[in-house]
Amino acid sequence: MHPHDYGLVKIAYSVDELRRILPLGRTKIYEAIKAGLLKRVKIGRRTAILATDVAAFLSALRAEGGVQ
């Protein structure tokens, strides 16, 4: 799926930005990163998640039926 299919308009998002647009809290987002379900990139000390990786994560959630 394309990021725009999920309403994602930016190239990359911070964890705080994802918290505002997804029904997930900070802990669940970091758990998904740690589990390898959501990819992150480090830009200096900042963590960013590319919109394409958010779209892939959401597609996988749809296929699996949600986050535990």
d(CA 26, CA 16): 7
Q: What is the pLDDT of residues 3-48, one digit of tens each?
A: 888 889 999 999 999 999 999 999 999 999 999 999 999 989 999 9
Task: Answer whether residue 68 shows pLDDT above 70.
Answer: no
pLDDT at res. 66? 59
Asked whether the whole model's pTM tops 0.85, one would answer no
Considering its fold, how many domains does the chain have in total?
1
Question: Which residues form the domain of 33?
Answer: 3-64
Which amino acid does the sequence have at 20? R
Q: Provide the CATH number for the domain around residue 31.
A: 1.10.10
Which amino acid does the sequence have at 23? P
pLDDT at res. 18? 95
Task: Answer whether residue 65 shows pLDDT above 80.
Answer: no
d(CA 8, CA 52): 9
pLDDT at res. 16? 95
